[in-house]
Amino acid sequence: MSKRIYWENPYLTNIDAYVTEKYLKDGKCYLKLDKTIFYPDLSGGQPRDYGYINDIEVEDVYEDGSDIVHVLSGNVDKLDVKLSIDFDRRFDHMQQHTSQHILSAAFFNIFNWQTESFHMGNQYSTIDLSTRDITENEIQKAEILANKIIQSNFKVSTYIVNKDNLKAIPIRKNITINENIRIVEIEGLDYSICAGTHVSSTGEIGIVKIIGYEKIKSIIRIKFISGQRALNHYLTVYSTIDTIRKNLSTNENDLVNKVSEILEQNKSLQKKNVNLKNKIVELKAFELISKLQRINNFKFIIESFDDEDAIYIDNIRHYIRNNHEDIFQVYTSESSNSVLFTISKPKLFSIDMKNVFLELSKMYEIKGGGNNDIIQGNINSEFRNDFINNAISIIVSMLTRKG
């Protein structure tokens, strides 16, 4: 059995220990020790500690019954070993985990919502609440209470009780455990069964901030950060706001109004831009119609576009088709070593453009497709003129046979 020193003193970063079992597998060294300061991975939703044993990196830590297994990147050749952990990571986990207890207690005390599960991530942590709905006001109430508890600097203590003594403790949520029942108490305010590492007083957390939530089936998942994570988050957000403020030449108090003003201006400009684009499309359509070609008494617009985007070309096609029921449109545009083509029929004629595509596919290597009204794709640029002529010839032939 490995003695879990992190339960007795989570602030301890270095100890000596004795190897009770060792084996090698796939180039890794697996150790069991008489005692350890390394927290095992995802025990109670908390990630593992990082650190070294005899200056060899510990790559993983996990529970094996009452023992804890340490996986090392290299072999340890002595039974007496020295352990050291990354305390910045450990203290971060202590802050996040105790914050979870405080937030869970706040939601329970105000709304009687239980915490169904907890997960500590590298960027933020989450708690799943036993409610289907939540409001911003409810979140704010719980957050304010949680921070009052932190600021009050209540003592956080841990102790082991047996099953009989558990009945006298008002734990927030009962968990079925028969032995080694570890209680985390926040000075008479909250009692929870927990195996994690915690700060010794709530004031060490500094602040907790809820940064988001989402509805998942029948629960609400709260995202939060605390301690140094919360400070880092604030510094990032403040830096972003300050940069925006300077770029907009305003102060923090007027920033929201300034952004709203710019958004309104942007909407107005977008509307004007759309109107201008529509005018340009109309003018281009009139230009194209003015130079349409009659082939066997059928009307064709044949145009090559350069440096024009597909949306602009498609808007022209739609405008002409909606306003002229008897004009075929054949458009091409350059794209590296190939030519993009769009060929559409007017509403007046009932030929199937997919048949046109099928006939052209027999003559050229084409990538594309289409439907009854339009075909699109690309071909090798050297066949551009020949392709257009054959496409028109096929369409005229189909129209003549149909007529």
Domain of 165, CATH number, reads 3.30.980.10
- Asked if the structure places residue 334 within a domain, the reply is yes
| For range 69-84, the mean pLDDT | 96
Do both 59 and 104 map to the same domain? no
In eight-state DSSP terms, residue 2 is -
Percent share of the chain, pLDDT over 90:
87
- Asked if the structure places residue 256 within a domain, the reply is no
Question: What whole-number distance in Å separates Cα of residue 190 and Cα of residue 169?
Answer: 10
Residue 114 CB partners (closer than 8 Å, separation 6+):
108, 129, 130, 172, 173
Do both 122 and 24 map to the same domain? no
Do both 114 and 209 map to the same domain? yes
Domain count, the chain: 3
Do both 281 and 366 map to the same domain? yes
Rg (CA), the chain: 35
C-alpha angle 314-286-322 in degrees, rounded to nearest 5: 50
Reduced DSSP (H G I as helix, E B as strand, rest coil) percent helix, strand, coil of the chain, to 5: 40, 35, 30
Comparing CA positions, the residue from 315, 336, 328 lying closest to residue 388 is 328
- pLDDT value at residue 163: 86
Q: Measured in Å, how far apart are the chain's first and last C-alpha atoms?
A: 93
Do both 99 and 133 map to the same domain? yes
- Asked if the structure places residue 389 within a domain, the reply is yes
Residue 248 CB partners (closer than 8 Å, separation 6+):
255, 258, 259, 262
| For range 46-70, the mean pLDDT | 96
Report residue 45's pLDDT band, with 50, 70 and 90 as the boundaries: confident
Contact present, 399 and 297 (Cβ < 8 Å) = no
Do both 96 and 231 map to the same domain? yes
H-helix or E-strand containing 191? strand 190-193
Comparing CA positions, the residue from 161, 208, 203 lying closest to residue 186 is 203
Do both 71 and 114 map to the same domain? no
- Asked if the structure places residue 74 within a domain, the reply is yes
Q: Is the pLDDT of residue 403 over 60?
A: no
- Residue range of the domain that includes 336: 276-402
Last residue of a domain, one of 235, 262, 287: 235
Q: Is the pLDDT of residue 81 over 70?
A: yes
- pLDDT value at residue 164: 84
Report residue 310's pLDDT band, with 50, 70 and 90 as the boundaries: confident
- Asked if the structure places residue 21 within a domain, the reply is yes
Question: What whole-number distance in Å separates Cα of residue 37 and Cα of residue 45?
Answer: 18
Token output for 289:
């119609």
- Asked if the structure places residue 156 within a domain, the reply is yes
Percent share of the chain, pLDDT over 70:
100
Residue 375 CB partners (closer than 8 Å, separation 6+):
341, 342, 343, 344, 353, 354, 356, 357, 360, 368, 369
In terms of DSSP H, where are the helices of 167-325?
227-247, 255-290, 310-323
- pLDDT value at residue 217: 92
Q: Is the pLDDT of residue 338 over 90?
A: no
Do both 77 and 102 map to the same domain? no
Token output for 314:
């498609």
Do both 110 and 197 map to the same domain? yes
- Weakest mean pLDDT among 14-23, 41-50, 171-180, 219-228: 171-180
Residue 308 CB partners (closer than 8 Å, separation 6+):
333
Q: Is the pLDDT of residue 326 over 60?
A: yes
Token output for 255:
């920033």
Mean pLDDT, the chain, whole residue set: 94
Is the torsion defined by CA of 168, 173, 174, 177 positive or negative? negative
Question: What whole-number distance in Å separates Cα of residue 151 and Cα of residue 169?
Answer: 25
Last residue of a domain, one of 181, 212, 235: 235
Do both 95 and 212 map to the same domain? yes
Do both 307 and 389 map to the same domain? yes
Q: Is the pLDDT of residue 75 over 90?
A: yes
Question: What whole-number distance in Å separates Cα of residue 288 and Cα of residue 197?
Answer: 75
- Asked if the structure places residue 251 within a domain, the reply is no
Contact present, 213 and 134 (Cβ < 8 Å) = yes
- pLDDT value at residue 43: 87
- pLDDT value at residue 135: 97
Q: Is the pLDDT of residue 402 over 70?
A: no
Last residue of a domain, one of 203, 220, 235: 235
- pLDDT value at residue 166: 87
CATH number of the domain that 42 lies in?
A: 2.40.30.130
Q: From its phi and psi, is residue 293 left (phi > 0), alpha (psi between -120 and 50) or beta?
A: beta
CATH number of the domain that 370 lies in?
A: 3.10.310.40
Do both 282 and 396 map to the same domain? yes
Token output for 120:
């500590």
Max intra-chain CA distance, the chain: 100
Dump pLDDT digits (tens) for 151-183: 999 999 999 998 888 888 999 887 777 777 999
- Asked if the structure places residue 201 within a domain, the reply is yes
Higher pLDDT, 177 or 23: 23
**Buried b or exposed e, range 136-161, using 16+ CB within 10 angstroms:** eebbeebbebbbebbeeebebebeeb
Dump pLDDT digits (tens) for 352-361: 999 999 999 9
Q: Is the pLDDT of residue 69 over 70?
A: yes
Q: Is the pLDDT of residue 300 over 60?
A: yes
Contact present, 101 and 184 (Cβ < 8 Å) = yes
